[in-house]
Structure 1
């Protein structure tokens, strides 16, 4: 998606939100394939004020729960899911066998890899497990993302290397609360361990999951997605950062700066619910 940024001549107020419009006010269509971010809004401040100060690639996308108009901003768009894929994995495993609540708790709240591997194995053969996780993604509106059944990098789980774009992840997040038994996972997403409460974890009432890992050159991608409360329901958010330095710590700082900006514009957000109301 091309991104056109700038003031709109004669704009004295923000455009009204349509029922399935982006959760953050301050965007409007500037023509086919373009989005205009209005100055002084969350979208405008992210693109014009914050993004130029960040040393690396960053992406942000938001939409009300129940909505489907995905509007990503920034210069990062897709990459490995890393531990964010533990959300659909955990939901698939708990549906299959509710006895794995302990592993589910560890996989989500502590991002425990051994617990996630146990959940993966509980689903059957690698091919069957991959299909089960993909089925949850499809149910959540992500019609694109493929979950590998074999390791593409020997030292990492197959599911963590699924290529999950910001837009597809947000699309899934916007439907997640509406899926059967999803509360068994979103409840855990509200109890993330203290050491992982950067980025979205700094926002009150956030239910989220982070994921991080190095590329083949050792440079880290750090990403999160989740839900925050807003008037009318909840807002789904997906953010990601890949610092030029490759530093994990810098990536978490970048995501916290994005979350801080969101916190400064909470009055613009409009949530949604599973029945589509706003």
Structure 2
């Protein structure tokens, strides 16, 4: 079941009232049952109605097989969030690769370190295929990683169009992937300057990504894993403020994190199967 709530108008709110109060019922997920509280759905609709811009969020338990999504923003450039599958691919290809490059690419979102990882995968085409292979293994059957730069000022992999639902599905399988432990651990060591959004949770493992469109307006996004009863659940969210200002996007991610915090006790986590 995919729940999409815009909450932009009273009419839309009324039309979705049954969905909201029914709490997205129980979503069966490979032996797991995640209850998405109607209060969270209603809270997101209320939040979105106050936002000057577009926001989106998707959640899914680890080990589950369906995402629940909210909001008008659904897909866009991955930016530095794509450094997670990139780093996994690079460490698999060359275990002796400098841990400095891997650590800096994740914990500091260092672009030069990420370029080292990309180049270690061979030609641009080989690198793109290697990162895509990690995405496929993580359940993302759709996202294409470009081999060539679409923009001179941005990495090729960072401009991959990564939908929130595909990203959260990958996140829900991330801790279950072979040789992912190093990267998942690094996602818990994010530099203090980047501990906004999911960084508010104790022991969350996450990665942010942000950048301007050709007109200079910022998209800010983040995905990761949050501890909850029964294990962990995956979250992916994004904000594109009308102002185009990075700090405004970061603030919107903080507000979505606060909303999740208010309903954390109502959400169920999961664990890797088998």
1:203/1:264 CA distance change after superposition, 3 Å = same
Runs of 4 or more off by more than 3 Å in structure 1?
1-9, 11-24
Deviation at 1:22, TM superposition (A): 7.7
When the two structures are superposed, what TM-score results if normalisation uses the length of structure 1?
0.89
Q: Is the 8 A contact 2:135 2:170 kept in 1?
A: yes
Compute the TM-score of the two structures, normalised by the length of structure 2: 0.90
Q: Assess, with a 3 A threshold, how the Cα gap between structure 1 residues 195 and 19 changes in structure 2: closer, same or farther.
A: same
The equivalent position to 2:201 in structure 1, one of 194, 203, 206, is 203
Instruction: Classify 1:155/1:229 alpha carbon distance in 2 versus 1 (closer, same or farther; 3 Å).
Output: same
Question: Are residue 90 (structure 1) and residue 87 (structure 2) matched?
Answer: yes
SS at structure 2 position matched to 1:79 = strand
**Any residues of structure 2 matched to 1:222-233 within 5 Å, and which?**
222-233=220-231
Contact 1:24 1:62 in 2 (8 A): no
Matches of 2:237 and 2:254, distance apart in 1: 10
- 1:146-168 per-position Cα deviation (integer Å, ceiling 9, x unaligned): 11111100111111100101111
1:271: which partner in 2?
269
Deviations 1:187-228 (A, max 9, x none): 000000000001111111110000000001110000000001
**Cross-structure match for 2:115:** 117
1:214 pairs, out of 212, 215, 219, with 212
Structure 2's unaligned 5+ residue stretches are 6-11
Of 142, 150, 166, 1:168 maps to 166
**Partner of residue 74, structure 2:** 77
Query: For 1:167 and 1:239, how far apart are their aligned partners in 2?
Result: 9
Q: How many residues align?
A: 261
> Structure 1 pair 22/114, CA: closer, same or farther in 2 (3 Å)?
farther
Give per-residue Cα distances to partners, 1:165-192, cap 9 Å, x unaligned: 1111011111111000111100000000
Residue of structure 1 in register with 2:55 after alignment: 58
Question: Could you report, residue by residue, the CA deviation over 1:17-65 in whole angstroms, capped at 9, with x for unpaired residues?
Answer: 5345784522xxxxxxxxxxx3xx1122111x21111111000100100
Q: Structure 1 pair 119/13, CA: closer, same or farther in 2 (3 Å)?
A: closer
The 5-angstrom pairing of residues 249-264 of structure 1 reads 249-264=247-262
Cα distance in 2, alignment partners of residues 106 and 14 from structure 1: 39
For 1:120, what is the secondary structure of its paired residue?
helix
What is the RMSD computed on CA atoms of the aligned residues?
Answer: 1.9
Partner of 1:243: 241
Shift of 1:14: 8.1
The alignment status of 1:133 with 2:131, answered yes or no, reads yes
Is it true that 1:8 corresponds to 2:6 in the alignment? no
* Per-residue deviation, residues 86-142 of structure 1 (Å, max 9, x unmatched): 000000001111222110000000000000000000010100000000000000000
Change (3 A) 1:45 1:151: same
